[in-house]
Amino acid sequence: MRSIRVETSGATVLLTEAPEPKVKDRQTGEIAKDAQSGETLMRLGVVYIDGGESSLLQVTVPESGVTEGLALGSPVTLIGLIARPWDTVFNGQQRHGIAFRAEAIAPAAISVGAGV
């Protein structure tokens, strides 16, 4: 399926769940790895606020893309964020959604307006 680049420059993104290894198989506890590099994938939660609306997103990031200095509730930057629609049949039922993946996550630079 096609990947869609997500523009984040006008949005506020706040970290809501600390990065942790993404589990590929809950029954075996197998950790998800990048198909090309073999690197461990991390899962984290953010709230994405843009145009007066907010959405909670789960984002996958390679372990090397998780930078130091991340704190829950703080603004972050998602570098190279893409959205990829998916669909599957699970237990006879059609399921669908959007998977989000970023190249990296870093603390966002906070700009202070003049006169504040």
Which tokens is 76 given? 């972050």
Q: Residue 76 pairs with which residues in a beta bridge?
A: 107
- Which of 97, 101, 70 lies closest to 6 in space, CA to CA? 101
Residue pLDDT, tens place only, 25-73: 888 989 999 989 999 999 999 999 999 999 999 999 999 999 999 999 9
| pLDDT for 1 | 59
